[in-house]
């Protein structure tokens, strides 16, 4: 399985519009420092996980030619508000018909909130019919050829936040990119092959509503993954702490590294 990080950034991508901080200025000149909002792609099954506002840029950068399915972790804009760009890219306005229909896997609870916050989804699904909804919930297993996908609700069924576990040839990758504060059952994934997890907040003295970086490290020590990549790296944290400082914090731990846009993880 080839699991590609399309975006390793946070709710606010890097560079942030207007910002003149060191990292944003670098990112405008050198794409190595650029971080789109969090999403990932599995090549073998043309599957996307999450759909931030800048999804078009990520798909173009990697020259991805087709997306057949999309897994949603939660409704937040940095994970869903790119749905218009993604889905309308599969609509021919001259012929008035879809050129591809994307299957969206989402929990009913998350979908109900999404419909309230992003009502355009109803037009995309019911009027121009460029997507089809499949409701999934905690513990569901879906198979696509050799790859199986397990749905993980952070609070069991009817959760507001989800992770996905991808498995092929007994190798497992857990993708838990955002809002993992209430992810209670993470210890079920001991010794997993690859963990892709939100990095946690470095400014945890100021922000108490998100998982802190030290709490993420505690999880990492309990799960003992073979390899871990930290994602959802916020521009404001890079701005305040600097990439070097954050890099050093991570380098202190073996088998732990920062994800970056375009990183391909081979399982």
Site string for Zn ion, 142-181 (x = CB under 5 A): ------------------------------------x---
Q: Does 45 bind Zn ion (CB under 5 A)?
A: no
**Applying CB under 5 A, which part among 13-21, 168-176, 186-194, 210-218 lies near Zn ion?**
13-21
Out of 36, 80, 109, 239, the only residue in the binding site for Zn ion (CB under 5 A) is 239
Per DSSP, helices labelled H in 30-127 are 55-61, 77-80, 83-88, 108-117, 120-122
Q: 221: how many CB neighbours lie within 10 A of its CB?
A: 9
Cα gap 34→30, rounded to integer Å: 7
Binding to Zn ion (CB under 5 A) within 188-217 occurs at none
Q: Does 237 bind Zn ion (CB under 5 A)?
A: no
Q: Does 231 bind Zn ion (CB under 5 A)?
A: no
Binding to Zn ion (CB under 5 A) within 59-78 occurs at 78
**195 near 224, Cβ under 8 Å?**
no
- Token digits of residue 10: 């946070």
Main-chain dihedrals φ then ψ at residue 78, nearest 5 degrees? -70, 5
Cβ burial of 153 (10 Å; 0-12, 13-18, 19+) is buried
Out of 12, 19, 89, 267, the only residue in the binding site for Zn ion (CB under 5 A) is 19
For Zn ion, the closer of residues 178 and 199 by Cβ is 178
For Zn ion, the closer of residues 36 and 239 by Cβ is 239
Out of 1, 5, 6, 24, the only residue in the binding site for Zn ion (CB under 5 A) is 24
Q: Does 54 bind Zn ion (CB under 5 A)?
A: no
Contacts of 151 (CB under 8 A, 6+ apart): 105, 107, 136, 137, 138, 139, 140, 141, 142, 162, 164
Q: Summarize as ranges the residues that interact with Zn ion (CB under 5 A).
A: 16, 19, 21, 24, 78, 178, 239
């Amino acid at each position: 399985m080839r699991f590609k990080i399309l975006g390793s950034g946070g709710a606010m991508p890097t560079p942030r519009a207007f910002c003149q901080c060191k990292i944003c200025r670098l990112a405008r000149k050198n794409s190595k420092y650029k971080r789109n909002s969090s999403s990932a792609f599995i090549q073998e099954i043309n599957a996307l996980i999450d759909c931030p506002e800048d999804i078009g840029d990520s798909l173009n950068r990697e020259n991805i030619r087709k997306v057949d399915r999309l897994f949603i972790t939660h409704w937040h804009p940095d994970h869903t508000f790119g749905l218009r760009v993604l889905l309308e890219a599969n609509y021919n306005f001259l012929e008035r018909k879809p050129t591809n229909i994307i299957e969206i896997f989402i929990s009913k609870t998350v979908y109900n909130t999404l419909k309230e916050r992003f009502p355009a989804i109803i037009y995309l699904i019911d009027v121009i019919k460029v997507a089809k909804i499949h409701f999934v919930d905690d513990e569901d297993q879906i198979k696509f050829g050799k790859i199986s996908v397990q749905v993980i609700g952070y609070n069991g069924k009817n959760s507001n936040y989800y992770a996905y576990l991808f498995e092929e040839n007994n190798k497992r990758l857990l993708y838990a990119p955002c809002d993992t504060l209430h992810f209670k059952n993470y210890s079920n994934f001991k010794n997993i092959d690859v963990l892709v997890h939100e990095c946690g907040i470095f400014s945890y003295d100021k922000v108490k509503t998100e998982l802190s970086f030290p709490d993420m490290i505690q999880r990492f020590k309990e799960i003992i993954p073979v390899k871990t990549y930290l994602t959802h790296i916020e521009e404001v944290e890079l701005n305040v702490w600097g990439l070097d400082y954050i890099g050093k914090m991570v380098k202190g731990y073996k088998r732990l590294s920062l994800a970056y846009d375009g990183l391909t993880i081979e399982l």
